[in-house]
Amino acid sequence: MKGDLARREPGWIKAWQERRLYQRIRETARGRPKFVLHDGPPYANGDIHIGHAVNKILKDVIVKSKLLAGFDAAYTPGWDCHGLPIEHQIEKKHGRGIEGNRMRQLCRAYAAEQIERQKADFIRLGVLGDWDNPYKTMNFQTEADEIRALSQIWKQGLLFRGLKPVNWCFDCRSALAEAEVEYEDRDSPAIDVGFPVADAARLANAFGVPESSVDRVARAVIWTTTPWTLPANRAVVVHPEFDYQLIRTDGGLLILAAALAEQCLARYGSVGEVIATARGAALEGLELRHPFYDRASPIVLGSYVTAETGTGLVHTAPAYGADDYQTGRRYGLETDNPVGDAGRFAELLPLFGGMSVWDANPKIIDTLRERGALLKHATLRHSYPHCWRHKTPIIFRATTQWFIGMDKPGSKGSTLRELARQAVANTTFYPAWGRARLGRCHGSATGACRFRFSCTAKPRNCIRRPKRFSIRSRSASKPAASRRGSR
C-alpha cells in the first residue's frame, strides 16, 4: 500500500481546519456528559521537541477516545508565557538594563511568536482543539483574574510581607532561581572562631562540674567559610543529641563536639584535657558574646548540625542561610541583613561599613585575630554556587518577599490548607494513589512539594520574586548550597 502520507496528511489536517471539524464535533456533542482535559500548558520558549509531541499526541488520543465514547470532550490548548527563560532570551538579544515597560513589551512579543510556531506544529501533529481561543497566562483577562484572586486573599488578611533568604547575584542585583545556579570550585577562607561564654556558673552547671573548674573564659568554637556573615551572627547552633566536651588547652577552655574535638585540636596545633562532657540539649540558652560586637549570641538547638566537618557548633546568621533562617524564626532571633543589593555592607555597620563582602573577609579575619578570637585560618577549595549568566560567586541573602499564609484562618474561619484538603477529599482520583500523593503534600509542613500554591506543603508561600515579566505564584525555593555544619 502506498500511503503517501507526507503529502496526504497535511491535506487531511487542512481539511479539518477548513471544515471547522473540532467546532462541529462540539456542536453535535452538545448536551452529552462533559469530559474536560485540563492540559498542563507548555512553556512558550523554543520549537517543539519529542517531549511535546508525545505529550500532546497522548492527550489527543484521550480526548478523541472520549468523543467516540459519547462525551462532550473539550480541549483548550494553553501556554505558560511568564518567567525567567523568556527574560533571559530578551536580555541575550537586547542587552541588560532594559526599561520595565519596554522589557514587558519585548517579552510579550517574544512569547506570542513562540506560541504561533508551536501552535502550527501541534496542529500539524493532528491534535484537535480550540486553536483559535487558546489559554495564555499572559492574556490580560487571565492576569486580571489572578489579581482578583489575590485581592480575595488580601481581604482575608492572608497576604503579608516578610524576609526570606534567596540566592543572590550582585551583578544581576537580583534573586536567582535554583536552575540559574552553577557550581564551580573556589578558594574560600576557612576559619575557626571562639565565642566567649558570658556566664561561667551556667556553663559549669550545664557540664555538671564545680564552678571552680571554669577558672578561665571558655570559648564555644564555630567553623565557617563565610567570614562576611559574622557581623550578622545572632546565635550558635548545637545538635541536641550530640556530645560536647569542655576541654582545657594551652589556649584556654574550649567547647567542641566530642566527635570532632580531636581533629579540631590537631588543626589548632594544640593538645587538651577533657574536663567534662554534656549533651547539646543541656547547652541550650547558654549565653555567648559576639566575637567583635558588644552583644549576646545564645546557644540554640538544631538537628541539622552534622559531625562531618567543622566543630559541631554552627554560627548562625538568620539572613544568610535557610536553616539559619528557620532557626531564627523558631527562637525569635533578629534577621540582620547588613548587605545591600550590590554586595556592600551598609555604611552604618560598625567596623566594616561600606565594604564589599569579598573585601571585608580579610578585614574580619584581622579583627578576629586582634581580639584573640581566631583559632585557625586556612584556605579551602570547595564547590561554590555561581551565577549562570555572570559566572561570578553568589551569596544566600534575605530579601523582602510577599507571602500567603497557608495556616492562618481566613475571614470564614478555615485556613487555605484546610480548604485545599477539602477540595482533594471531594475529588475522585484515577488512579487512586494520586490522592495520596496530593494528600502528603497537604499533610507535611516540611516535605518538598512541587504542586502549586493551592496545595503547597509550606506553612507560608512566597508569591513574588523580583522579576519583571511574571505574576505567577511559586513555592519558596530551596537554598543553593547546604552549609549544614559548615558555617
Give residues in contact with Zn ion (CB under 5 A). Answer: 169, 171-172, 387, 389-390
Give least dist CB 182 to Zn ion, A.
10
Give least dist CB 186 to Zn ion, A.
15
Q: Which residue lies nearer to Zn ion by CB, 116 or 178?
A: 178
- In angstroms, the CA 61 to CA 390 distance is 45
Eight-state DSSP code of residue 125: T
Among 397, 422, 271, 281, smallest CA distance to 345 is for: 397
417 CA to centre of own chain: 20
Q: Which residue lies nearer to Zn ion by CB, 386 or 460?
A: 386
Q: Which residue lies nearer to Zn ion by CB, 95 or 413?
A: 95
Give least dist CB 174 to Zn ion, A.
7
Give least dist CB 390 to Zn ion, A.
4
Give least dist CB 479 to Zn ion, A.
17
Q: Which residue lies nearer to Zn ion by CB, 286 or 481?
A: 481
- In angstroms, the CA 251 to CA 314 distance is 21
Assess contact for 408 and 157: CB atoms under 8 A: yes
Q: Which residue lies nearer to Zn ion by CB, 98 or 153?
A: 98
Give first-to-last CA distance, the chain, whole Å.
Answer: 71
Write b or e for each residue in 451-464: b if 16 or more Cβ atoms lie within 10 A of its Cβ, otherwise e: eebbbbbbbbbbbb
Furthest-apart CA atoms within the chain: distance in Å: 101
Place of cell 517531549: 51
- In angstroms, the CA 166 to CA 469 distance is 19
Helix (H, G, I), strand (E, B) or coil at 237: strand
Q: Which residue lies nearer to Zn ion by CB, 201 or 342?
A: 342
Give least dist CB 171 to Zn ion, A.
4
Calculate Rg over the CA atoms of the chain.
29
Residue 357's alpha-carbon distances to 227, 231, 297, 344, 432, in angstroms, are 9, 11, 22, 6, 52
All three cell numbers of 102: 519596554
Q: Which residue lies nearer to Zn ion by CB, 389 or 408?
A: 389
Q: Which residue lies nearer to Zn ion by CB, 175 or 190?
A: 175
- In angstroms, the CA 105 to CA 56 distance is 29
Give least dist CB 389 to Zn ion, A.
5
Give least dist CB 16 to Zn ion, A.
47
